[in-house]
Amino acid sequence: MAKNIKRPGGELASRPLHFIWIVDRSGSMHGEKIQTLNFAIRQTIPDMRASADDNPNAQLLIRSLKFSTGAQWINATPISVNDFEWNDLDADGVTDLGKACELLAEQLKIPPMSERALPPVLVLLSDGQPTDNYKKSLDELKALPWGKKAVKVAISIGEDADDNVLAEFTGNRELVLPADNPQALVKMIKWASTLVKQVSAPSSKRDGDAPVVVDMDNIPDVSSDADVW
Amino acid sequence: MFQAMPMFGNGAMDLTFSPISARVRGANHKKTGIRCQDNYGIRRLDKMLIIAVADGHGSSDCKYSDIGSEKAVNSFCDIIEKICKSCSDLEQLHALLSRNKDDTIPTKICDEWNRKIERLHKKAHPDEDFDRLLYGSTLLGLAVCDQFVFAAQLGDGDILSVAANGSTDRLIVTERILGTETHSLSSDSAWITMYTTIKYFPAVGETPVLFMLSTDGMANSYATDEAFLLCGKDYADSIQQYGLEEVGKKLKGWLTETTEGGSGDDIAVVLAVSEAIIRA
């Protein structure tokens, strides 16, 4: 007769999936840009929650980091997507991307990151040129094991953003997404939020091939959107 | 050092180690309709048990990787069985495995896999260009008797060894590749990335009581590595208390619970269990 034998092993757990918004709130973002950004990120929350419900084996954890003069975590402790809320940011100051990279790097080390986590998703939103010595910090970030494996996307806001710097961050120019007007910014932020679906249930990949391959077929076409910033 | 043993037959004599096994399709693949990518293999010879597990990559680039993992476990079992049967006794077998574990044996296993998949592909998909990547898979294998164990690992997954006192260790410690990447049979010179080991048991009391091969969906389902390693002692204790057959019946259900509560990935597990705890 089948006995009630306890399942061997200890506690089970889904794999953590860290999603981090990295937001430029420098003075040049003042006005429509920051307002649209605030609106767009807030709009992503219901769909990200739905994604999380569809993929219960990935524990979706959200964090946000803001940078202008200096950089600070908006929430340094990862929050379950079900508890995540977006509070509007204002815009003021310069563009200390390097400081942002330093803060990111501290959190991508092991620990606090776990070896069993899924590849983290980092989304950088910026409209300008870095005003600090960002290169050293960015290189250190990208040299970390999780820095290499992370899915990195950048949204280039307006015509003054330095796409070369953003491409250094992503490691792939195709993952620098143009957002020259409010409609485009909303579309690109929404697309970036859908990356959680791609990373939530990944298949194994042969080591040495590209890390998580992002499906870029669905990146919105914003070429026809009017009113360039 | 070695007891003189007869030529290796087909398991007609009592095995020192007995297997139980199961595989389950993960929650993620059930949702997307993808077949289970994990497979296992078992070969019983007199006094020697050969077991293997493999995990097909399952990505869109690897659309036949469920077949790849099946051929992987068959390749390991075929090659090791051939080696066993080429030896007249355990001493000769131990010497042969020791001498060739780092190069010849990994090469033979990888070559056998390549042969199997290429032959199958030409027959099943004659109009499609052959590419090893289509069948990409990991491979973990083990051959054990009461005097020594030989193990091989290419890619992620775990091979656990459980001592009589319940302490559990990995038989092979590989580099940890973060995220979802792994070494693969489909890589060029894949044999170089196959880790192997052979361990001799100098005294009866030092023979492990259980070995567990599992694909990475298993370990990735546990909150911590310690929680996963606890499986070793728990399986040994359950078998000792309830018997091999009873635990064997429960295995698939436990793996289903594990993937659903954990990684969502496919899982294949084979346990090699010593008669020392089965008949205890």
Residues of B in contact with A145 (CB under 8 A): 178
Q: Give the model's confidence band at B59: pLDDT under 50 very low, under 70 low, under 90 confident, else very high.
A: confident
Chain A closest CA to B179's CA: distance in Å? Answer: 5
Q: Highest-confidence range of B7-11, B189-193, B202-206, by mean pLDDT?
A: B189-193
Chain B closest CA to A41's CA: distance in Å? Answer: 26
The conformational region for residue A70 under phi > 0 = left, psi -120 to 50 = alpha, else beta, is left
Q: What is residue A205's predicted lDDT score, i.e. its pLDDT?
A: 72
Record: contact A13-B222, CB cut-off 8 A: yes
Inter-chain contacts counted by CB atoms under 8 A, chains A and B: 141
Q: Give the nearest chain A residue to B228 (CA atoms).
A: A9
Record: contact B258-A204, CB cut-off 8 A: no
Residue A11 near chain B (CB below 8 Å): yes
pLDDT tens-digit series, residues B69-79: 999 999 999 99
DSSP letters, chain A, are ----PPPSSS-B-PEEEEEEEEEE--GGGTTHHHHHHHHHHHHHHHHHHHHHHH-TTEEEEEEEEEEESEEEEEEEEEEEGGG---PPP---S---HHHHHHHHHHHHSTTTS-TTSPPPEEEEEE-S---S-HHHHHHHHHHSHHHHHSEEEEEEESTTS-HHHHHHHHS-GGGEEEE-SHHHHHHHHHHHHTHHHHHHSPPPEEBTB-SS---GGGS---TT-----
Residue A197 near chain B (CB below 8 Å): no
Name the β-bridge partners of A59: A16
Record: contact A212-B179, CB cut-off 8 A: yes
Chain A closest CA to B59's CA: distance in Å? Answer: 5
Record: contact A12-B261, CB cut-off 8 A: yes
Record: contact B28-A57, CB cut-off 8 A: yes
A164-168, A210-214, B108-112: least confidently modelled range: A210-214
Taking residues A50-60, report their average pLDDT: 91
| CA dist., res. A55 & res. B274, Å (int) | 39
pLDDT tens-digit series, residues A9-38: 999 999 999 999 999 999 999 999 999 999
A168-177, A216-225, B182-191: least confidently modelled range: A216-225
When CB atoms are compared, the residue of B57, B228, B265 closest to A205 is: B57
Q: What is residue B279's predicted lDDT score, i.e. its pLDDT?
A: 66
Chain A closest CA to B258's CA: distance in Å? Answer: 7
What pTM value is reported for the model?
A: 0.91
- What residue type is B7 in one-letter code? M
Mean of all residue pLDDT scores within chain B = 92
Residues of A in contact with B185 (CB under 8 A): none
Q: Give the model's confidence band at A208: pLDDT under 50 very low, under 70 low, under 90 confident, else very high.
A: low
Residues of B in contact with A209 (CB under 8 A): 181
pLDDT at A153 over 90: yes
Residues of B in contact with A204 (CB under 8 A): 55-59, 136, 138, 156, 180-182, 216
* Helix axis angle, B90-100 to B104-124, nearest 10°: 80
pLDDT at B204 over 80: no
Q: Give the model's confidence band at A218: pLDDT under 50 very low, under 70 low, under 90 confident, else very high.
A: confident
Q: What percent of chain B has pLDDT over 90?
A: 81
A contact test, residue of B24, B139, B180 with most A CBs within 10 A:
B180
pLDDT at B1 over 60: no
Q: What is the ipTM of this complex?
A: 0.91
pLDDT at A132 over 90: yes
Residues of A in contact with B184 (CB under 8 A): 206-207
Residue A95: how many CA atoms within 13 Å on its side-chain side?
20
pLDDT tens-digit series, residues B210-252: 999 999 999 999 999 999 999 999 999 999 999 999 999 999 9
pLDDT at B34 over 60: yes
Mean of all residue pLDDT scores within chain A = 90
Record: contact A10-B183, CB cut-off 8 A: no
A155-159, B6-10, B46-50: least confidently modelled range: B6-10
pLDDT tens-digit series, residues B147-172: 899 999 999 999 999 999 999 999 99
Record: contact B187-A204, CB cut-off 8 A: no
pLDDT at A171 over 60: yes
